[in-house]
Structure 1
Amino acid sequence: MDALNQGIQYMQEQKYEEAAQSFTQAIEENPEDPLGYVNFGNLLLHMNDLERAERFFQKAIEKDPETATAHYGLGNVYYEQQKYEQAQEPFQQAIKKGLEESDAYYMLGLSFLYQEQFKLAMPYLQRAAELSPEDADVHFQYGLCLAQVGLLDEATQTFHNVLELNDQHSDAHYNLGVSHLFKEEPYNALEHFDKAIEIQSDHMLAMHAKGQVEEMLNSNKEKE
């Protein structure tokens, strides 16, 4: 087994010191190969050494600008620092260079989402959901994005899809409750708020929303 693959195996086994030694050896043996720098960058990113990780990903890009995983790693460095605008470009480059994977689209979509650029986020989150049909969290974020741009029917269906994948997803129940409120269906909303609280007893948003709906319904009964 060569040093690069040995390092990857050590990483998977959480033997990080041994992984670092193997990646160092891989870089020394093949200093022009960007993958040694990418994998060392991934190790440093995993260890939250973001400053050094950035340098390794930049070095990989210097060696070969077409290395999609180096751009993706660099995007993750900025994303972890909540530099969402700065993260956009390397994530876009990763996709452009051929990283046709759900994670790349998902991270780019989230970078736009957290800047409240929902229309820009939507196609990337949609593509991420298409590439990860079994990932409840990807579908949930796509549902949030749909709701933010006012596509309530599509958002409602997406949140139902999330619950098919994970029926214990409290936030999906909460957001379904909110969707029903917008459709003026308070009793349906209450069902989902109750379910969110049943799954997560300290779900403050669901508890607050439930209290408001019950207050509104009681007020309406008194007026009758």
Structure 2
Amino acid sequence: MNRLFQHSVVVLFALLFAVSPLVLAWAAEQPDAAQREYERGVALLRKGDLAAASEATRKAIELSPSSADAHHLLGMIAFKERKPDQAVESFLHALKLKPAYPEALNDLAEVYRIQGKSAEAEQALKRVIEIDPKHADSYFDLARLYEQRRDVAAATRVYRSLLTVHPSHRGALYNLTL
């Protein structure tokens, strides 16, 4: 009986030794497969095929659940599909994975703005500017948000701040002349 046990252990270790390179190779391929699905999702979104883009992006997330970029992309797709609650959920998930993610914050702010959640949009845009002081879109979007509130002084301050980091920003120059 003892001899049978020893033989079983030897066979088990031999089997594990033989299979482990296959497992490692499979695990190493997953990020590449996830990246391919993500890139496919981006391409399909650009073509306007939202259903296929969503499917590819969900597959990317399945292969790499910690991909903030894939969750962000899924939020963009949901936004295009006019599903703002799903977009917010995806953007927040991306930000949970990567808190300093200017693009996800900026897109989240846009959804909040459209939903009429001005305070949340303002907070998200200010956070982007903290993270990336040269993120022109966030300055511009924040100034436009202040304009919607009819807070001309705040909008002017933000446009001027934008011009300090991007002196030839056409939108800021144009809106300051109005």
Deviation at 1:112, TM superposition (A): 2.8
Q: Does 1:172 align with 2:138?
A: yes
Q: Hey, what's the Cα distance between the residues in 1 that align with 2:127 and 2:28?
A: 40
Q: Hey, what's the Cα distance between the residues in 2 that align with 1:140 and 1:77?
A: 21
Deviation at 1:69, TM superposition (A): 5.5
Does structure 1 retain, via aligned residues, the 8 Å contact 2:106–2:124? yes
Correspondence for 2:58 = 92
Aligned counterparts, 1:201-216, within 5 A: 201-212=167-178
Q: Hey, what's the Cα distance between the residues in 1 that align with 2:143 and 2:88?
A: 22
* Residues 1:183 and 1:112: Cα distance change in structure 2 (over 3 Å): same
Range that drifts further, 187-196 or 89-98: 89-98
* Residues 1:75 and 1:177: Cα distance change in structure 2 (over 3 Å): same
Aligned counterparts, 1:2-81, within 5 A: 71-81=37-47
* Residues 1:104 and 1:179: Cα distance change in structure 2 (over 3 Å): same
Deviation at 1:106, TM superposition (A): 0.7
Q: Does 1:107 align with 2:73?
A: yes
Q: Hey, what's the Cα distance between the residues in 2 that align with 1:180 and 1:109?
A: 25
Correspondence for 1:200 = 166
* Residues 1:115 and 1:203: Cα distance change in structure 2 (over 3 Å): farther
Per the normalisation by structure 2, the TM-score is 0.71
Q: Does 1:131 align with 2:97?
A: yes
Q: Hey, what's the Cα distance between the residues in 2 that align with 1:133 and 1:35?
A: 26
1:133-169 superposed Cα distances (whole Å, 9 cap, x missing partner):
1222222222222112211100100111111111122
5+ long unaligned stretches in structure 2: 1-21
Greater C-alpha Rg: 2
Which 4+ residue blocks in structure 1 deviate beyond 6 angstroms?
Answer: 33-39
Does structure 2 retain, via aligned residues, the 8 Å contact 1:38–1:73? no
Q: Percent identity?
A: 17
5+ long unaligned stretches in structure 1: 1-29, 43-66, 213-224
Deviation at 1:181, TM superposition (A): 1.8
Q: Hey, what's the Cα distance between the residues in 2 that align with 1:141 and 1:163?
A: 13
Does structure 2 retain, via aligned residues, the 8 Å contact 1:142–1:158? yes
* Residues 1:152 and 1:100: Cα distance change in structure 2 (over 3 Å): same
Q: Which residue identity lines up with residue 107 of structure 1 in the other structure? A: L
Q: Which residue identity lines up with residue 123 of structure 2 in the other structure? A: Q
Range that drifts further, 183-192 or 98-107: 98-107
* Residues 1:114 and 1:210: Cα distance change in structure 2 (over 3 Å): farther
Counterpart among 136, 144, 148 of residue 182 in structure 1: 148
Per the normalisation by structure 1, the TM-score is 0.58
* Residues 1:117 and 1:196: Cα distance change in structure 2 (over 3 Å): farther
Describe the SS at the equivalent of 1:201. Answer: coil
Q: Hey, what's the Cα distance between the residues in 2 that align with 1:113 and 1:199?
A: 29
Does structure 2 retain, via aligned residues, the 8 Å contact 1:119–1:149? no
Measured on the aligned residues, the alpha-carbon RMSD in Å equals 2.9
1:52-83 superposed Cα distances (whole Å, 9 cap, x missing partner):
xxxxxxxxxxxxxxx75564343234235453
Aligned residues: 155
Higher share of residues assigned helix: 2
